[in-house]
Amino acid sequence: MNATTVRPARPSRARISRPQIVDRLEQFLRDHFDEPIQLAQLCDATGVSERSLRNACHAVCGTSPKRYLTRRRMEAVREALAAARPGATVTRIATDYGFFELGRFAATYSSLFGERPSQTLRGGVMQHESAG
């Protein structure tokens, strides 16, 4: 007698494209810029495995999820510095976006944008002062 094994059907997971994964990642990051974020949280937020998340980030963004997160936070800090009102400080803005190692933050910022955070801040404050 030939017995066939019947396997229970696996629940089907809808395939999600790499750009969709990165879109979900981007939305999560926008909502959580000021929080420490672990890779497991990014996987939960995007609904994919760590491997799928890494592959999507590399394919769409050309970098790892953590580096993408750092880059997006840096861009948000740059926008906040450029839009800052008089009295704002680099320290306050950087820590608002989750950067607490300020020396490392300043070095990374300078390498990305070619100027110190304080220079960006001065430019933004001067714009507000001249407009007011």
Q: Strand, helix or coil at 18?
A: helix
18-131 under CATH 1.10.10.60, yes or no: yes
Whole-structure pTM value:
0.77
What's the rounded mean pLDDT across residues 1-15? Answer: 53
Extents of the domains making up the chain: 18-131
User: Which tokens is 34 given?
Assistant: 């000021």
Is the CB of residue 19 less than 8 Å from the CB of residue 60?
yes
Q: What is the pLDDT of residues 59-84, one digit of tens each?
A: 999 999 999 999 999 999 999 999 99
